Structure 1
Amino acid sequence: MDLFHTLTELIDLRSFSNLWYWIALAVVWSSASHWVMGVPFDMVYRARKNGGQAALDLEAITRVNVNRMMYITEVSGHWVLGMTCFVLAMLGMLGFYYGVEFAQAVFLLAFPMGFVGLINWISARRIQQEGLAGETLIRQLTISRLFIQLVGMVAIFVTALWGMYQNLQIGFLG
């Protein structure tokens, strides 16, 4: 065996048959579910359970992240949206029109994360406009997490179906 053949077997670019891709998928969705608007969800549980200083800490970190998201939206929101749409369109075309499996895999990770970003932005805008605090803030963060988890479940299901289809197709053809 030559070195090139050994390296190409070690670094397999067929994403859907690679264990590292599935580990990355699990880590991405676990992190997205835990960090709602940049706030670790264990702070929400602690604020709901203990109140007091934990609730004040939750309000402070949420306020900082909401202000940061709204500032980025005001300053460069159109550019971020345009670049995101461009990259997703490029990945979609490369992956599903030209058949590049790596682009399909990245698209199936990135596209649903766009919905997560949208959920976080809508939640941040509502928190800022209505000045949510206390129990209503906790409720808003919990609802946002629920929607993120729903998007994650659908995304993982679709990715698993597409990955199985790709692996079966390659298995029969190759």
Structure 2
Amino acid sequence: MSIYETLVEIIDLRSFSNLWYWIGLAVIWSSASHWVLGVPYDLVLRARRHGGQHYQDLQDLVRINVNRILGIVEISGMWLVGFVSFMLTGLTLLSFWYDVEFAQALFFIAFPMTFVGMMSYTTARQIRRDAPEGEALFALLSRHRFFVQLIGMLALLVTAMFGMYQNLTLGPFQDL
């Protein structure tokens, strides 16, 4: 076995068999479930337990981030929808029509994150409309986090299944 074959076997640069892709995917979903509408979830738990200044900080951060999210959508919402649709369509074509593995890897990150983005917008609108306080705010943020985690688990499952399928069908020396 030559040194090149050994290196290719040890360091596989394809997306679904690359450890760095899976580490990055785990970090993305971990961050998405920790930052609920831009508010760290540990602050939500601290505000629920201790109240006082922690609760005031939570309310301020929620207000700031809700205004930021809704401001972005009000100013450039249609452009954002068009751009995201264009990018997802391009990724879908590259992924499944042209069979580009890197595009497939990006698609399995971007597609479920669009649902998280839409959910964040919906939750921000609900917070502005209802102005929940206390337990109602905690419940809303916790529910949002639960559904982000649910989307993340489903996305990780589908990505892992597709990645395993890719690795089994292509094999380690397909490109040689």
TM-score range, shorter chain: over 0.9
SS of 1:47's partner is helix
Amino acid at match of 1:87: M
Question: 2:121 maps to what in 1?
Answer: 121
CA contact (8 A) 1:13 1:102 kept: no
Amino acid at match of 1:98: Y
Question: 1:83 maps to what in 2?
Answer: 83
- Unaligned 5+ segments in structure 1 are none
Q: CA deviation at 1:13?
A: 4.1
Amino acid at match of 2:77: G
Question: 2:143 maps to what in 1?
Answer: 143
1:32 aligns with 2:32: yes
Q: State the number of aligned residues.
A: 171
Amino acid at match of 1:84: V
Give the helix-richer structure, 1 or 2: 1
TM-score normalised by L of structure 2: 0.91
Question: 1:130 maps to what in 2?
Answer: 130
Matches within 5 A, 1:2-13: 9=8, 12-13=12-13
Amino acid at match of 2:99: G
2 CA distance for matches of 1:131 and 1:13? Answer: 49
TM-score normalised by L of structure 1: 0.92
1 CA distance for matches of 2:87 and 2:41? Answer: 30
Matches within 5 A, 1:51-66: 51-66=51-66
2 CA distance for matches of 1:125 and 1:84? Answer: 20
2 CA distance for matches of 1:172 and 1:124? Answer: 46
Task: Give the alignment's Cα RMSD to 1 decimal.
Answer: 2.0
Which whole-Å deviations, capped at 9, do the CAs of 1:60-94 have from their partners, x for residues lacking one? 00000000011111000110111011101100110
CA contact (8 A) 1:32 1:148 kept: yes
Q: CA deviation at 1:147?
A: 0.4
